[in-house]
Amino acid sequence: MAWLPAAFWMVLIFIASTDLGGTRHTSRLIGPFFRWLIPGISQGALNAVHLAIRKSGHALGYAVLAGLIWRASRVGMVMSLGQWSWRHAGVALGFATFYAATDEWHQTFTATRDGSIADVVLDASGAALGLAMIWVWCAWQRKRLAADELARIP
């Protein structure tokens, strides 16, 4: 049950890797929105925004995936809220990167998509960034819990 959110997110990534997540389909949403938001936007600027949003989606998607894998790998272990585990982070990063590689390979079989090593690197970087954010959160939790314990000492 702990792995269900990660599996669900992987299915969403898989679907986004089909023609549905291709440039042709995402431009139908992003283009009109930015033309409404910035009526005089040039086609070149719109293309740049579209690319930035698509690549940010890669990083964000894999940041979330790594976090879900990290969370699932900890279930059943006796760990405090702010306890960090490099082993769990390594599992999450490795699994997310492996999934990114297989996802890019999957895109090579889709007529309107193509796989890219650069996107695997981007996805892995997003996963690492997501895990770094969790590490910061864990450090903050540890500090907060320590301050709470000190406040209880008479």
Give residues with Cβ within 8 angstroms of 85, minimum separation 6: 74, 79
Supply the pLDDT for residue 128.
98
Global pTM? 0.84
Residue 69 and residue 95 in contact, taking contact as beta carbons nearer than 8 Å: yes
Q: What's residue 31's pLDDT?
A: 83
Query: 78 pLDDT band (50/70/90 cuts)?
Result: low
Q: Which domain holds residue 96?
A: 4-152
Q: How many domains does the chain have?
A: 1
Structure tokens at 77: 């272990």
pLDDT tens digits, one per residue of 79-128: 665 678 899 999 999 999 999 999 999 999 988 888 899 999 999 999 99
Q: What type of residue is 97? A: T
